[in-house]
Structure 1
C-alpha cells in the first residue's frame, strides 16, 4: 500500500479509513453505522468511505449478507501502522482511533515505561476471540514452565500498570488467570463451544469488588496533608474500588504498605492500607507490598 495514496486524502478521511481497519483487525467486523456513530457523518458519506477502503485494500474484508456486516477476510493485511500502545488505548478507552501519526506534544514531556514486546497479530486474535466468545490456543512463556501450548478462553484485557494482560480461563489448570501479552508467542482461534464454567460470570476474582481505604503512611510521611492534597483525599483517606483480580496490581503500582503495623520503611511507601481485612480472599496478594503471602507462579 503506497503511503503517497494515503497522503492525498484529507486527515478526516484517513481517520475514518483507519477506524475501519481497526474494527476489522481487532474486532473482526464493522457496520456502516459504526462510522456514522463514531464520526457523526451521514450514511452516504460512510458508504463512500467503505468503498474507498475496499479500493485501497480489496482483499481485507468481505460482506456477510446474512448478518449485514463487513467482516475481516482471511487474507487481511493492514495498510496502517499502529503502535501496540495506540491500539491498547483504543481498545480500552475507545478514543484516539485516528491515523497513526507521531504528533509533537503541546508541552515537553517524557515517559518511563519499558517497551513491551506485544505482537499486534497475536493481540488481534485475542480481541477477536473476546468479541466472538471463543477459545484460543496459545504458545505462552511462563517463568516456571517455559514455553508451553495451552487453550484459554479470553474475555478481557487488563492493564496492570507495568504490563498488559489478558484475563482468561485456562483449560490446562482449570482456573481463571492473567496472561502477560508480551509472553505470548503464537495464538489461533479454536472452533467449538465454550463451556458455562469457562465464562466470565464464573470468575469470582474478576467479579468481586474490593473497597480499599488508603491513608498517608503513618511512619514514612512527615506531613500527611501533602499526601492528602496530592491524592484528593476526603477526611484523610482515599477510598478506592477495584476488582479483586486487579487489586494486587494496584497496590504494587502505588507502593501501598499492606502490613498490619505499617512497618515498611522507605520513601517510596507514601500510602498505607488501613483496612487490611478487605484483602481477605484476594488471590494475587503476592504483588501487594508487605502482605507476606507465598507466591503462586505460573
Structure 2
C-alpha cells in the first residue's frame, strides 16, 4: 500500500471494497456502482459512499463518463494498493482474491515454487484493459526471430501455458492470430481510434475455437503403470482431456507427454503417452509437443 495514503481509519470490509474499485479501474478500465453492489451484496447507497471515499483518497484515479454512465480510469492514475501480478492474474482467471492485498498467514505449511517470470503490473494492466474494452493494442515487442518491432495487435484472451503468461491476439503485422509473451511487451498503449475488422475477431481464430480431444495413457516403457493411473486419476487406464488447439503444444510440453507415434522418448520424467498422435494433425502449436512429428514428415523420414 502506498505510504501517501492512510487507509487505517477504514474497516477491513470497506478497504476490500476500495481495493475492488481500484482493481476494476486499473485492469478493466471501468466500473459501475452495480459491480460493487453485486460483488459485496451491499445497498446502492453504501456503494455510492465507497466510490465517494475512493475519489476523495485519489481524485486523479477515477473519472465519470456521463455518456456511458460509468466510472473510468483517470488520466493521472496512481494505484492506492500494491497488487502483485500473480494475485491479479489469479483474480482475473479464477475470480478470487480481489480484496485488500494484505499478507495473510497460510492455514497449513506449504511450499509452492514461485514462477520464474511475472508480467510487469503496469504492462499487464494495459493488456487487460485492451481485452476488456475490445480495443487495439499498440506495442513494442521483442521476438526471438525478428528482434524488437512495433506491432498493432487485437488481444482477446490471456493464456497460462504453465510457465509464463501469453496474450492471444490478431497480429496486424503478420496478418495472423498469434501468442505474445507478456513479459516481452513494452510501451503498450490502448488505441481506441482504430476499428477492429471482422477478420480480426476471436471467432475467426480457428486454432482458438478448435477443441482437441486427447487420450493420455501411462507410458508403455515405464514401470508400474498402475501408479501413473493413480497419480492422474485415470479411469480404466485413460485420462481424456479437451484443450484448445492454440494451447495444446504448450500444455503437452508442460505435462511431459510423449507425443511420438512409437513412444520412443527415453526420459524417466515422461510418464504419459498420447495414444493417438494423429489428433494433433493441423494443430499449429503441436510443434512444441515432445516427440511429435507431423504425418507428412514421418513419411519423408521413412
* Same fold flag (TM > 0.5): yes
Where does residue 174 of structure 1 map in the other structure? 175
Where does residue 9 of structure 1 map in the other structure? 10
Alignment of 1:136-175 (within 5 A): 136-175=137-176
The range that moved more, 198-207 or 5-14, is 5-14
Q: In the TM superposition, what is the alpha-carbon distance from 1:147 to its structure 2 partner?
A: 1.3
Where does residue 300 of structure 2 map in the other structure? none
Q: In the TM superposition, what is the alpha-carbon distance from 1:102 to its structure 2 partner?
A: 1.9
2:198 matched to 1:196? Answer: yes
2:250 matched to 1:259? Answer: no
Alignment of 1:32-71 (within 5 A): 32-71=33-72
- Provide the secondary structure at the position in 1 that maps to 2:60: coil
- TM-score (normalizing by structure 2): 0.93
2:102 matched to 1:101? Answer: yes
Q: In the TM superposition, what is the alpha-carbon distance from 1:117 to its structure 2 partner?
A: 4.4
- Provide the secondary structure at the position in 2 that maps to 1:187: strand
The range that moved more, 140-149 or 108-117, is 108-117
1:88-144 C-alpha deviation (Å, 9 max, x unpaired)? 111111111011112221222222233324222221211111112111110111112
Q: CA RMSD in A?
A: 1.4
- Provide the secondary structure at the position in 1 that maps to 2:88: helix
Alignment of 1:216-295 (within 5 A): 216-220=218-222, 222-292=223-293
CA distance in 2, matches of 1:225, 1:15: 47
Q: In the TM superposition, what is the alpha-carbon distance from 1:2 to its structure 2 partner?
A: 3.8
Alignment of 1:201-220 (within 5 A): 201-220=203-222
Q: In the TM superposition, what is the alpha-carbon distance from 1:4 to its structure 2 partner?
A: 6.4
1:141-191 C-alpha deviation (Å, 9 max, x unpaired)? 111221111111100000010000000000111110000011112111122
CA distance in 1, matches of 2:3, 2:161: 37
Detail structure 1 runs of 4+ shifted over 6 Å in the superposition.
none
CA distance in 1, matches of 2:50, 2:139: 35
CA distance in 1, matches of 2:142, 2:5: 40
- Provide the secondary structure at the position in 1 that maps to 2:153: strand
- Which segments of 5 or more consecutive residues in structure 1 lack a partner in the other structure? none
- TM-score (normalizing by structure 1): 0.95
CA distance in 2, matches of 1:70, 1:181: 27
- Which segments of 5 or more consecutive residues in structure 2 lack a partner in the other structure? 298-302
- Provide the secondary structure at the position in 2 that maps to 1:6: coil
Q: In the TM superposition, what is the alpha-carbon distance from 1:225 to its structure 2 partner?
A: 1.4
How many aligned residue pairs are there? 293
